[in-house]
Structure 1
Amino acid sequence: MTSTPAKSSSAALPKVLWPLLFGNFVIGTGVMIVPGTLNEISTSLGVSVAVAGQLIAAAAAVMCIGAPLFATFVAGWDRRRLLALSMLWYAVFLGLSALMPDFGSLLVVRVLTVVSPAIFTPQAAACVGLLVLPEQRGRAITFVFLGWSVASVLGMPIGALIGGMFGWRSAFGFVALLSLLSAVWVWRSMPNGVKPPALSRAAWAETFQSRALMLCVAVTLLYSAGQFVLFSYFAPYYKAMLNITPLQLSLLFAWFGAFGLIGNIFMSRQIDRIGAPSAVMWGVGSMALSLLIWPLGTSLVLVALVMVPWGLGCFSSNSAQQARLVGIAPALASGSIALNSSAMYAGQALGAGSGGWLIAHGGMYSLHWFGLVGLLAAMAMSWWATRQRAHGTV
């Protein structure tokens, strides 16, 4: 490896983290492009909103299974090549998605597209520890995951606006171009020889046998499912509730994402001081507060206010969870982060599938209550994980 970590925890983070942040921005934009254009996909391809939502569930299921599998398969790959190729793959299949003539073919190509998120996000996080000092790790990981927050501020709203004005195919093409740019930037910026140590079978076994790690992974599963019961269907929900226009929807997504960015920035500055477990509880609790007061959102302005706590907690909790796992067992980070990503995507699949079922059975206006149950369960599980850790359970 040719890069040298910064010399103190208070020093500026290495510039090589910027293309990783941008890569997560593109990955996040591509993942969230379907929720942002769900109305247009449904209308264009002649399927119901509930059926169109299965694009989210199917993709999330593939990312769930793929994250730990690819963590093993690509263990010996140089991260410069791996991350650049994964973004190139993303570009190609996002472009192909825009050309699909019907829902069935789009579903197949979408499943292939999300191989990239299953690789890029967990592997980018896993190699951060080789680019910074241990005492900078929490700040560096949350910095890289700012890309997902920025995707919610800029990528998802812009994608939704492009989809509303020019059609979902144009929105997919836009993200494909961003993916090409990301692939080039990663290739030009990442040093050669960045290879996190491969996990042996014994290490994988240790990861699965660690109660502390598995409880944390369960927390991610629960809060991801709780969020995506409703988040997957924001576009049709607000169309039904408020007859929202594409521009208003884009502005609402931008508002939500702005607070996601603020929450993640705050978390990146405070996590090493307050500790990752407290940071996770803070983030999930903020999201739960929004869903608790969700019925108060009876106008566009009130909806925007109700969404603020959710925005503050949604991406910051993901970042804090990654730092929490690395802190519990640094040597097992490649495996635990991959499993955590898998749990996040499994939760998305579970939430999107459950939300689609509820909508199909007339439950559009009760989505937030089901989501709240998942978030409260996540908080209880997180408390238990912290308690187990405090009593020395590994």
Structure 2
Amino acid sequence: MTALPRVLWPLLFGNFVIGTGVMAVPGTLNEISTSMQVPVSTAGQLISAAATLMCLGAPLLAGIVAGWDRRRLLALSMLWYGLLHLACAFAPGFGWLMAMRVLAVISPAIFTPQAAACVGLLVPPEQRGRAITFIFVGWSVASVLGMPLAAFIGGTVGWQAAFILVAVLSFVTALWVWRAMPDGVKPPALSLAAWRQTFGSSALMLTVAVTLLYSAGQFVLLSYFAPYFRQTLGTTPGELSLLFLVFGASGFIGNVLMSRHIERVGVHRGVMLAVAPMAVSLLAFPLGTSFALAMLVLVPWGLGCFSSNSAQQARLVSIAPSLAAGSIALNSSAMYAGQAIGAGSGGWLIANSGFGLLNWAGFVAMLLAMAVSAWATSRATRPA
């Protein structure tokens, strides 16, 4: 198997930093709630507000930055990420933190989809699927190292220290991307006709809908892992970090397996193999009545959490390679919309009925995602 080019490594690392920053809020939600003197359900709206911006920003910014050199675009987006995380760390109140957090996540709306969209210009066609899933390993590494580390630092030193760590890593990424990326990488901008073709493709739109559904299904509970486990199991910051570590390690393994075997199992089957174990975990979640059982229940979820998005990106490229810039941006938008819907719904459920219904709401969303995924496969594979 031919080795992938080294230029993909800073893109992988960039996704690691992006993922760590995005997941820093769920990992430190208890500390933010206490520090800012707001209920957990209110603090959780940091996730919803940021996800809404990322949802709307991904496709809009894809059009705005279409002609930009990707070396400059990706480096500047990470520089912005670092500066705004510093601003978050020194926020004097919850309103200021909310505003700075929303501005910070302009970077994920740019970096993740645009890094994936430019991969086709950095590798030969036969490596495209493997290269896209490779750079998304960064998100699963963030779940292994970034999210547990943020939770541990937040619980022992303070959530501000976790945000400062993300800022430092962002500056490192900006420098690495600037040094490693070649000049002149400019994926062709989608014309209005191409956007119409993208929105008019039932296979692409159904695939994007799958991302929306499984993202909402995850974040209705994932957003509130920290307060959920503190209330149900009485976890300490160290124990919470260990739970995140188990979840993240499973995510890393799942993404590596998907990256290695996506070409053999096929992109459509790969998505289903990622979503199904997440549904199993959500169904079994009430069985996690001890620390050991909770870790066990999280493993299938972790295996599918990040590998599902990697497989979805490769799936979109395989359905319509010429429309990848638009479809991947829309998929990122759907992922963030799902996060907003899930976090908002989870906060509403907690405020009105506690934590007991979160896993069931997520399980229903996963079943819908699997049904729509099968529909998308039938549309994508039917004879022209």
Q: What's the TM-score once normalised by structure 2's chain length? A: 0.99
Superposed CA offset, 1:25-77 (max 9, x none): 00000000000000000000000000000000000000000000000000000
CA distance in 1 between counterparts of 2:383 and 2:306 reads 29
1:284 to 275, 282, 299: 275
CA distance in 2 between counterparts of 1:349 and 1:255 reads 25
- Which deviates more, 356-365 or 339-348? 356-365
* Structure 2 equivalent of residue 170 of structure 1: 161
* Structure 2 equivalent of residue 237 of structure 1: 228
Give how far 1:294 is off.
Answer: 1.0
Residues 1:103 and 2:85 are matched in the alignment: no
CA distance in 1 between counterparts of 2:323 and 2:364 reads 31
Give how far 1:362 is off.
Answer: 2.2
CA distance in 2 between counterparts of 1:171 and 1:54 reads 19
Letter in structure 2 aligned against 1:291: L
1:273 to 235, 255, 264: 264
CA distance in 2 between counterparts of 1:372 and 1:28 reads 24
Give how far 1:366 is off.
Answer: 1.5
CA distance in 1 between counterparts of 2:289 and 2:16 reads 31
CA distance in 2 between counterparts of 1:193 and 1:160 reads 39
Residues 1:312 and 2:303 are matched in the alignment: yes
Residues 1:140 and 2:131 are matched in the alignment: yes
2:21 to 24, 30, 34: 30
Give how far 1:391 is off.
Answer: 1.9
CA distance in 1 between counterparts of 2:195 and 2:188 reads 12
Letter in structure 2 aligned against 1:26: V
Letter in structure 1 aligned against 2:20: T
* Structure 1 equivalent of residue 147 of structure 2: 156
Q: What is the total number of aligned residue pairs between the two structures?
A: 384
* Structure 2 equivalent of residue 4 of structure 1: none
* Structure 1 equivalent of residue 210 of structure 2: 219
Paired residue secondary structure (2:306): helix
Residues 1:384 and 2:367 are matched in the alignment: no
* Structure 2 equivalent of residue 79 of structure 1: 70
CA distance in 1 between counterparts of 2:196 and 2:225 reads 39
2:31 to 37, 40, 61: 40
Letter in structure 2 aligned against 1:333: A
* Structure 2 equivalent of residue 90 of structure 1: 81
Give how far 1:302 is off.
Answer: 0.3
- Which deviates more, 343-352 or 131-140? 131-140
CA distance in 2 between counterparts of 1:255 and 1:391 reads 40
Paired residue secondary structure (1:361): helix
* Structure 1 equivalent of residue 342 of structure 2: 351
Give how far 1:361 is off.
Answer: 0.6
Paired residue secondary structure (1:148): helix
Letter in structure 2 aligned against 1:274: V
Paired residue secondary structure (1:129): helix
Residues 1:120 and 2:143 are matched in the alignment: no
Letter in structure 1 aligned against 2:260: R
Letter in structure 2 aligned against 1:193: G
CA distance in 2 between counterparts of 1:293 and 1:42 reads 28
Give how far 1:238 is off.
Answer: 0.2
CA distance in 2 between counterparts of 1:355 and 1:159 reads 22
Aligned residues: percent identity? 70
Superposed CA offset, 1:146-168 (max 9, x none): 00000000001011111001111
* Structure 1 equivalent of residue 194 of structure 2: 203
Gaps of 5+ in 2: none
Letter in structure 1 aligned against 2:300: P
CA distance in 1 between counterparts of 2:3 and 2:222 reads 35
Give how far 1:390 is off.
Answer: 2.3
CA distance in 1 between counterparts of 2:199 and 2:221 reads 30
Letter in structure 2 aligned against 1:33: A
Paired residue secondary structure (2:138): helix
Give how far 1:387 is off.
Answer: 1.1
Gaps of 5+ in 1: 1-9
Letter in structure 2 aligned against 1:261: F
CA distance in 2 between counterparts of 1:320 and 1:389 reads 15
Letter in structure 1 aligned against 2:301: W
CA distance in 1 between counterparts of 2:381 and 2:8 reads 32
2:179 to 172, 183, 188: 188
CA distance in 1 between counterparts of 2:51 and 2:199 reads 21
Superposed CA offset, 1:120-166 (max 9, x none): 00000000011111111111001000000000000010111110011
Superposed CA offset, 1:329-371 (max 9, x none): 0000000000000000000000000000000012312100000
Q: What's the TM-score once normalised by structure 1's chain length? A: 0.97
Alignment of 1:5-24 (within 5 A): 10-24=1-15
1:362 to 353, 359, 383: 353
Give how far 1:239 is off.
Answer: 0.3
Give how far 1:242 is off.
Answer: 0.6
Across the aligned residues of Structure 1 and Structure 2, the Cα RMSD in angstroms comes to 0.6
